Structure 1
Amino acid sequence: MNPADDPVLTALAAAGFPVATFTDEQLGVFRTLGAEELALLLDLMARLDEVEPEVQAHTTVAGGALF
């Protein structure tokens, strides 16, 4: 399945998650997220983005899930 065909992966990519760099195993985990789990991840990403400088170096944490 193309990641662009999955609404969860599309939402994560739109929020700035590096979906294209995820492994097949990571994509599989993200595809199983429920609506509440997705909302939580998107909220966390938005809140982290609010407190970080506009440009920053990214560090891989938890297999690239959060940076």
Structure 2
Amino acid sequence: MITEKYQVKGMTCSHCVDAVSTEVRAIPGVSEVTVDLASGQVTVSSAEPLDVQVLRNAVDEAGYEVVTS
């Protein structure tokens, strides 16, 4: 199991958390998604390493943006 953390910009409410969680959870191989609204941090667990662009596309589909550090 691989767990990675990402910073997501633009989330302000529980609807945002639900939207991001739903889109990221739909990525093949993702087993768990945890979103911390206060920090904007999204923690993703998956069987294999995720393609970051696939994750970015999922978050974008939800209406938000992965912030690059």
**TM-score, normalised with respect to structure 2:** 0.29
**TM-score, normalised with respect to structure 1:** 0.30
Between Structure 1 and Structure 2, whose CA radius of gyration is higher?
1
Structure with more of its chain in helix, by fraction: 1
